């Protein structure tokens, strides 16, 4: 389950040409767009192309990482101009039981469920592991981090901190002018990048910082 951080590369390990496009299987625009984004996310693609997971996977049923590995290899190494994403489409209800074949779904929601399903595959289905252990998977190191909430008492200046793991960060577009996003320093204790998400009106009492790996961070914008 633990994946060495030094094995994650933000650049392509092998030079890749543009792969095949994806055919619409009937209101599958949401699925196709998410799969294209994930296919061309170098840290994830590098891991899937290595075959490291499928070589050691013992899951007899549905495994999102094995499914994604088959899809990425098919897209990048296929000589056709377009292919049908049947490997993922056939498992749509396993990714999220409320997803329906032939119905247009929300791309953001499908992305969240897909990343979460890959994280579950890394954990071998275990849900009893502590947060620190779950954060050592390759998926959490690529997409995830920790949201730190720091509350400072304005009377005694006492500081209280709490941490919450995440795999994506939703941000309202209307509030973006009031948010300060910067990824320019490392936390000395965790050695993770710190992305400040602060509202100037409340920074005297509340500060929220996001601890993310060097690989990437998934920010979802919504209105």
Domain boundaries, given as residue ranges, for the chain: 5-134, 144-222
- Report the chain's C-alpha Rg in angstroms: 19
Query: Which one of 3.90.1150.10, 3.60.15.10, 3.90.70.10, 3.30.310.80 gives the CATH number of domain 5-134?
Result: 3.90.70.10
Instruction: Report pLDDT digits (tens) over 18-71.
Output: 889 999 999 999 999 999 999 999 999 999 999 999 988 888 889 999 999 999
Quick one: average pLDDT of 66-88? 93
Q: Sorting pLDDT into bands at 50, 70 and 90, what band is 216?
A: low
Query: Which of 116-130, 155-169, 207-221 is predicted least confidently?
Result: 207-221
pLDDT in tens, 155-212: 888 888 888 888 877 666 555 444 444 444 555 544 444 444 444 444 444 444 555 5
Sorted by sequence, the CB contacts under 8 Å of residue 125 that are 6+ apart come out as 59
> Which pLDDT value is given to residue 178?
42
Q: What is the predicted pLDDT for the residue at 215?
A: 52
Q: Where are the beta strands (DSSP E) in 57-215?
A: 82-83, 145-152, 159-166, 169-172, 183-186, 193-197, 206-212
Which pLDDT score is estimated for 95?
95
Can you give the pLDDT at residue 219? 52
**DSSP bridge pairs for 174:** none
């Amino acid at each position: 389950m633990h994946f060495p951080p030094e094995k994650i590369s933000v650049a392509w390990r092998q030079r890749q040409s543009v792969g095949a496009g994806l055919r619409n299987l009937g209101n599958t625009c949401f699925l196709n767009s998410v799969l294209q984004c994930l296919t061309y996310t170098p840290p994830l693609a590098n891991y899937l192309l290595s075959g490291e997971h499928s070589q050691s996977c013992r899951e007899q049923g549905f495994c999102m990482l094995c499914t994604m590995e088959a899809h990425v290899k098919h897209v990048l190494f296929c000589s056709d101009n377009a292919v049908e994403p049947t490997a993922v489409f056939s498992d749509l209800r396993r990714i999220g039981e409320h997803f329906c074949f032939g119905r247009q779904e929300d791309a953001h929601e499908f992305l969240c469920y897909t990343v979460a399903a890959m994280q579950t595959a890394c954990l071998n289905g275990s849900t009893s592991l502590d947060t620190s252990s779950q954060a050592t998977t390759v998926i959490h190191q690529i997409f995830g981090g920790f949201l730190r909430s720091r509350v400072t008492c304005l009377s005694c200046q006492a500081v209280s901190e709490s941490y919450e793991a995440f795999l994506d960060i939703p941000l309202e577009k209307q509030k973006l002018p009031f948010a300060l996003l910067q990824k320019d320093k490392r936390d000395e204790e965790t050695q993770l990048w710190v992305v400040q998400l602060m509202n100037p009106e409340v920074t005297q009492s509340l500060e929220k910082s996001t601890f993310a790996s060097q690989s990437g961070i998934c920010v979802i914008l919504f209105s």
